[in-house]
Amino acid sequence: MTGSADFVEIIKAAVAADPENVGLRIDLVELLLQQDLNEAQRQIEHLSSLRANSATLDVLGARLAAARLRSQRPSDAAATPAASPETPRLRITADDVERPVWDVEHPAVTLADVAGLEDVKRHLEGAFLLPMRNPQMARMFGKAPRGSLLVYGPPGCGKTFIARAIAGELQAGFVHATLADIVRPHFGETEQSIHSLFEAARAARPCVVFIDEFDAIGGRRTSGSSSAQSYRMLASQLLEEFDGVEADNDGIYILAATNRPWDVDPALRRPGRIDRTVLVLPPDEPARLAIVQNALRDKPAAAVDARELARRTAEFSGADIAYVVDQAIESAFTESVASGVPRMIGTADLERAAANTVPSTREWFEQIKPVLDYGVDDGTFAQLRSYIKAHRI
């Protein structure tokens, strides 16, 4: 014990000589958690004043609370069973956090595989891909080999497929993270998930980090809801990873997708972070035709007028069109089973299914209208306003 106490004094002396050194002070807290909890608390408070990593502070605070609970337990183990259902079990320590394993893909698809959507492709090329394709020229103009982009629009319109195509264009790895992948039930674990996501991408650079449902992960921190504290912790960890405070983000491309861009925390949208956007709207007619033809491939379809269905489904998302085709297939299959005579899928099946399907995009456009009318627009919605005007929505 004497040797450990001497080591604490050595670290204390080092901290006194370099009081702004956050790493040394964290080492000191680690030692004090075993010897002097009150001093450990004071050092954690000092770390907070030095603006240390919020996730690190949360973990240290949880470890301090656990240490205080252990110090209050009776020494007689038989009197207080450690595994009784009534005894609270605090799982959060720096070593206990379960980190997810991230799969790094290498997509073979590129933007050439995205049917239609020429406006989206042109916008992606000019706003995002051009500096990535010309790294030497980018370096000459002082542009770092990294980038970020917010992809937004109605659900089911192909945001994930386009993200994979971008990774294919850049010949980069691709890590897909959803809300279910990142959010964990215990205190501090979600922040660790975010950190491990970026560490996996940095180990596989060049790499695209694609964060789906971004509004649920990087939501506004200013609301008064019960989840506001969680939003603050998540957004703070994202900001640290985006800014590359503790690591180099060269070769890391961040793509975030959302159906609700108005709910994303403004701090995450500031210049140097996710400061560029691309709008992915319902597929145009060439894209709808390609979706219909792909969905009918290898199916018993006879002389189907796919172009007519593409013309009739102007408001439909890609997912809506796939659903229409599935309904037509199911109708033909059900009738074939009932009659005992197989029949082919026809244009009438598709048209009937389309007539009975309400486009899911209508709800999204209704949701965003108040945002366009009364919200603050930093330029994010310029493309959307043009689309709504052109289509008289």
Which string of DSSP letters, residue by residue, matches 313-348?
A: -TT--HHHHHHHHHHHHHHHHHHHHHHSS---B-HH
252-258 and 147-152 strand pairing: parallel
Residues contacting residue 248 through CB under 8 Å, at least 6 positions apart: 202
Residues contacting residue 365 through CB under 8 Å, at least 6 positions apart: 154, 388, 393
| Domains present along the chain, CATH in parentheses | 2-72 (1.25.40), 111-279 (3.40.50.300), 285-355 (1.10.8.60)
pLDDT 10s per residue in the chain (393 long)? 444 556 677 778 877 887 877 777 877 887 888 878 888 888 888 877 776 666 677 777 777 877 776 666 444 333 333 333 332 323 333 344 455 678 888 988 888 888 777 777 877 876 677 767 776 776 777 666 567 888 999 998 889 988 999 888 888 899 998 888 887 777 777 888 888 888 888 888 888 899 988 887 776 665 554 455 565 677 778 888 887 656 677 788 889 999 988 888 888 888 777 878 888 989 989 899 999 998 888 888 878 889 999 999 988 999 999 999 999 999 999 999 998 888 888 899 999 999 999 999 999 998 888 888 887 777 778 888 888 888 787
DSSP 3-state helix, strand, coil percentages of the chain (rounded to 5)?
Answer: 55, 10, 35
207-211 and 252-258 strand pairing: parallel
**pTM of the model as a whole:** 0.66
| Amino acid type, 314 | A
3-state secondary structure of 110: coil
* Whole-Å CA distances, 72 to 65, 86, 111, 204, 367: 11, 16, 62, 46, 53
Closest CA to 371 of 242, 259, 241: 259
Closest CA to 294 of 160, 108, 114: 114
